[in-house]
Amino acid sequence: MNASLAEYHVPVHLDVPEIDVLWTGVPDPHAPAGARGAGEIGITGVGAAIAPITLDKLL
């Protein structure tokens, strides 16, 4: 817990561990067209990466 947002650590690219992708080549029988998910975890840092840049441009 942080006492305020001023003490909040905004994650950056180096805070995210390397993500390994495994291609199985096996379709998912429970999904439309046999599609499997990819990239759900990788997108979580995007907002934190864009926010400081956007703030700098606005000020």
Which residues carry out catalysis?
Answer: 40
Q: How far is CA 42 from CA 2, 7, 26, 32, in A?
A: 25, 25, 22, 22
Q: Could you tell me if 50 and 38 are in contact, meaning their C-beta atoms sit under 8 angstroms apart?
A: no
Q: At 34, phi and psi to the nearest 5?
A: 70, 15
